[in-house]
Amino acid sequence: MDIDTIRAFVTVAELKSLSAAAFRMNHLQSNMTAKIKKIETHYEKQLFIRSSKGMELTHEGERLYAHYKKLLTLWEEAEQEMQQQDPKLRLGTMQSVIGSELTAAFTDLYDKYPRLSVTLKTGTTEEMEKALMSGSIDLAYTIGTSSKTEQLHFKKIGTEELVLIGKKAKSGVSLQHFLQGETMLVSSKECLCTAILLQLYSDLGLPAAPLTEVAVLETLFQFAALGMGIALLSKRIVRQFGLTDFVELPTEHRYVDKYLVTRQGYQLSPLERQFIEASHFL
């Protein structure tokens, strides 16, 4: 069995879609279908069934996937070792998660693999989940989830504490006074922090604040420092930016879970495991 056919089987198994796998591998869908048929004929077993969830592995298919994934991983390691194939890392994260930990992880990997190719997508939790399901990335760091879809695997890896920043963030200031009359500075209208802020205003009986989207994290910090509004961010990131003045939230809004998200059944490559360990996000 040639390596391209093995890769086709693994790709269809992970994406649960012939069309998505064909797009990923730059093949015609008919070619992908032929490759799957070739494997099923070789083993004389049905390896996939079509369902409302897509291409689902049969019991025999799951057994073969485990073996083929190991073979593919070993082959990719050999190719990388012989410098015939550039190592690739495809991940996504929310911009508010990017900090010194991820920068240090990238630095470590580029030192080990000078030909490393990185695809990094940023966006909301919902956008990261869609990118995973479409196959454009393979793993994502998210804070919270937009939906517990069965197509994705969510591994809880801790909690993140959220705090409010703004020019009025001084010791002893009340939360209601801090929020009153302010503009919300958010990375996106759809992000989790926006939903939490809106709920906070509602719980305090305050009218919904006007909202300004600020895509660049550094600019968001600058706007908050200038008094142009308030922002809800991870305390970890706030401290990395050197801020010591911030306002804490009530307990019910203060903590959010953070996750490492992959497609269901996806097995991390050695390179991906190295990155996760080096990032210290866990």
pLDDT of residue 68: 92
3-state secondary structure of 102: helix
Neighbour tally for 275: CB within 10 Å: 22
Same fold, 1-81 and 86-156+256-277: no
Token code pair at residue 38: 């070739």
Alpha-carbon gap, residue 256 to 167, rounded angstroms: 24
Residues 106, 60: Cα–Cα separation, whole Å: 38
pTM score of the predicted model: 0.64
Which tokens is 74 given? Answer: 């070993």
3-state secondary structure of 73: helix
**Confidence class of residue 282 from pLDDT cuts 50, 70 and 90?**
very low
Q: What are phi and psi of 26, to 5 degrees?
A: 60, 40
Percent of the chain's residues with pLDDT above 90: 27
Higher local confidence (pLDDT), 280 or 55: 55
Least Cα distance to 123 among 142, 139, 144, 104 occurs for 142
Orientation angle between helical segments 59-81 and 270-279, nearest 10 degrees: 80
Q: pLDDT tens-digit profile of 233-255? A: 888 888 888 888 899 999 888 99
**Average pLDDT value over all residues in the chain:** 85
Average of pLDDT values for 66-74?
89
Q: What are phi and psi of 141, to 5 degrees?
A: -100, 125
pLDDT value for 273: 83
Say yes or no to pLDDT of 197 above 50. Answer: yes
On the question of pLDDT at 64 being above 80, the answer is yes
Closest CA to 93 of 134, 135, 124, 138: 124
Q: Is the dihedral of CA 76, 80, 82, 86 positive or negative?
A: positive
CATH number, domain 1-81: 1.10.10.10
At 219, list the tokens. 């600019």
Mean pLDDT of 17-37: 87
Best mean pLDDT range from 4-8, 120-124, 146-150, 190-194: 4-8
Contact between residue 201 and residue 179 where contact means Cβ atoms under 8 Å apart: yes
How remote is the C-alpha of 11 from its chain's centroid? Answer: 19
Examine the pLDDT at 279 and tell me if it is beyond 90: no
Collapsed DSSP state (helix, strand, coil) of residue 229: coil
Pairing mode of beta strands 211-213, 152-165: unpaired
CATH architecture of 158-254: 3-Layer(aba) Sandwich (3.40)
Task: Encode pLDDT of 96-106 as tens digits.
Answer: 666 656 777 88
pLDDT-derived band at 38, boundaries 50, 70, 90: very high
Residue 229 confidence (pLDDT): 93
Residues 12/32, Cβ–Cβ less than 8 Å = yes
- Say what the pLDDT of residue 74 is: 84
- 232 — pLDDT class (breaks 50, 70, 90): very high
Q: Write down the domain spans for the chain.
A: 1-81, 86-156+256-277, 158-254
**Rounded mean pLDDT, 140-146:** 82
- Evaluate whether 173 touches 167 at the Cβ level (below 8 Å): no
Q: Which CATH number describes the domain made up of 86-156+256-277?
A: 3.40.190.10
Q: Is residue 150 scored above 60 in pLDDT?
A: yes
User: What separation, in Å, do the N-terminal and C-terminal C-alpha atoms of the chain show?
Assistant: 38
* Single-letter residue type at 54: G
Of the given ranges (104-118, 129-143, 213-227), which has the lowest mean pLDDT?
A: 104-118
> Per residue in 75-120, pLDDT tens?
877 776 665 556 788 998 876 666 656 777 888 888 888 878 888 8
- Of 180, 186, 168, the C-alpha closest to 205 is 180
Instruction: Calculate the alpha carbon distances from 157 to 139, 247, 251, 281 in Å.
Output: 13, 25, 20, 8
- pLDDT band at residue 61 under the 50/70/90 scheme: very high
CA-CA-CA-CA torsion for 8, 9, 15, 18, nearest 10 degrees?
70
pLDDT for the residue 166 = 92
For 98-175, strand residue ranges (E) read 117-122, 139-143, 152-165
Average pLDDT over residues 50-55: 82
